[in-house]
């Protein structure tokens, strides 16, 4: 006998999915909430791509593929291969610039000691089309029905490639949201510990300044930059304790449960103070995708004229520059952007608490998201 209630719920879920807002995500790696928050907030992810930046291209693609596989999302969220290198910058020039103006604490895939973690054999993705072309096709497909939002949480190279092929991307999409764009952080970077220096250094723009300048000044209908607000939302022992409790209170079982592997990576030892620096970074990408898909999180924002310093012989090469609109320079191309200054912290942390412990493995089949129960895992 058919379960009419389940069929009805599945039908409603699929109907809501077809009418939901849509987002394309490009990233230089991925944490689980970046993929899960849009779904939790009723959005549809129409495509994702991994690009070179904080990680190599293969590792960016591998991280995204792994997350999609863990949550059984690969069949309904296509993954494409993004940019493999910046438009102009290369490792050699990256090193030359550092020798003139100081080393960066975090050098991403350009670090001399960087080693790939993944191979293409364990990456599931659509090999038929590169990400820039896929992004153009997807934006064109929905431009009249429900324009796609673009979220770029790494270098801007893939989006810049798409713009070079199809400048009308700015008109056909709903807008661009960016993780990056720190400003007025020179004092903090200079006086803080290495991890504080890292947190206040904007490698997303520094890795490919020319692409960032092209993208930020392209004339988007809606350009929103996460900027400094993303630095202040960080993990804590209180959040760790709540996550462990909600997952059943047994850290060892969490660590041995494949579905909870992304949560286990966040928790590590389960003790916030014992985690290493790479496991206690702010919720950078998560914050922006959260207020993109739930604007009620935003408590304060400002509008500015913006540009990227693209002068190689400048200590601020790759840094965001902002001006009041009436004071914007005339000799430099600028864009108009909204910079988010404050969000609802408690609401964000509650969202993080939820998304790690929801059940997404039926999402692609019926559009449903349930409550995860660790006791049901075999």
CA distance 87 to 81: 16
Question: What pLDDT shows up at residue 5?
Answer: 38
Q: Identify whether 272 is part of a domain.
A: no
Note the pLDDT tens digit of each residue in 138-185.
Answer: 999 999 999 999 999 999 999 999 999 999 999 999 999 999 888 888
Ranges of the chain whose pLDDT falls below 50: 1-16
Note the pLDDT tens digit of each residue in 76-100.
Answer: 999 999 999 999 999 999 999 999 9
| Number of domains present in the structure of the chain | 1
pTM over 0.75: yes
Q: What is the per-residue DSSP string for 239-254?
A: HHHHHHHHTTS-HHHH
What whole-number percentage of the chain has pLDDT above 70?
93
Q: Identify whether 269 is part of a domain.
A: no
Q: Identify whether 353 is part of a domain.
A: yes
Query: CATH no. for residue 321?
Result: 3.90.245.10
Q: Identify whether 40 is part of a domain.
A: yes
Question: What domain range is 207 assigned to?
Answer: 4-234+281-376
Question: What pLDDT shows up at residue 195?
Answer: 80
* Among the listed residues 289, 233, 230, 235, the one whose alpha carbon sits nearest the alpha carbon of residue 267: 235
Q: Identify whether 230 is part of a domain.
A: yes
Question: What pLDDT shows up at residue 277?
Answer: 61
Q: Identify whether 247 is part of a domain.
A: no
Q: Identify whether 276 is part of a domain.
A: no
Burial 351-366 (b: 16+ CB within 10 A, else e): bbebbbbebbeebbeb
Q: Identify whether 245 is part of a domain.
A: no
């Amino acid at each position: 006998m058919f379960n009419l209630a389940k069929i009805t719920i599945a039908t409603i879920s699929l109907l809501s999915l077809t009418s939901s807002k849509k987002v394309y995500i490009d990233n230089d790696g991925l944490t689980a909430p970046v993929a899960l928050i849009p779904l939790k907030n009723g959005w549809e992810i129409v495509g994702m791509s991994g690009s070179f930046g904080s990680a190599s291209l293969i590792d960016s693609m591998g991280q995204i593929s792994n997350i999609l596989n863990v949550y059984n999302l690969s069949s309904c969220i296509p993954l494409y291969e993004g940019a493999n290198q910046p438009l102009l910058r290369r490792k050699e020039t990256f090193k030359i610039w550092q020798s003139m103006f100081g080393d960066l604490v975090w050098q991403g895939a350009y670090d001399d000691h960087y080693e790939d973690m993944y191979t293409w054999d364990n990456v599931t993705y659509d090999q038929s089309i590169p990400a820039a072309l896929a992004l153009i096709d997807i934006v064109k497909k929905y431009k009249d029905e429900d324009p796609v939002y673009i979220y770029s949480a790494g270098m801007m190279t893939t989006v810049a490639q798409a713009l070079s092929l199809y400048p009308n991307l700015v008109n056909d999409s709903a807008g661009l949201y960016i993780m990056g764009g720190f400003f007025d952080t020179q004092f903090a970077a200079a006086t803080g510990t290495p991890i504080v220096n890292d947190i206040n250094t904007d490698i997303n723009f520094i890795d490919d300044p020319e692409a960032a300048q092209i993208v930020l000044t392209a004339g988007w209908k809606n350009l929103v930059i996460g900027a400094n607000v993303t630095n202040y939302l960080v993990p804590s022992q209180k959040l760790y304790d709540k996550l462990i409790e909600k997952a059943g209170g047994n850290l060892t079982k969490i660590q041995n449960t494949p579905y909870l592997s992304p949560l286990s990576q966040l928790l590590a030892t389960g003790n916030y103070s014992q985690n290493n620096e790479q496991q206690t970074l702010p919720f950078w990408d998560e914050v922006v995708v959260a207020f993109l898909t739930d604007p009620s999180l935003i408590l304060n924002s400002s509008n500015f004229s913006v540009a990227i310093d693209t002068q190689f012989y400048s200590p601020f090469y790759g840094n965001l520059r902002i001006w009041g609109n009436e004071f914007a320079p005339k000799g430099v191309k600028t864009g108009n952007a909204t910079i988010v200054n404050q969000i609802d912290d408690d609401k964000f942390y509650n969202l993080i608490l939820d998304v790690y412990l929801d059940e997404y493995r039926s999402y692609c089949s019926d559009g449903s998201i349930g409550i995860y129960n660790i006791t049901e895992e075999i």
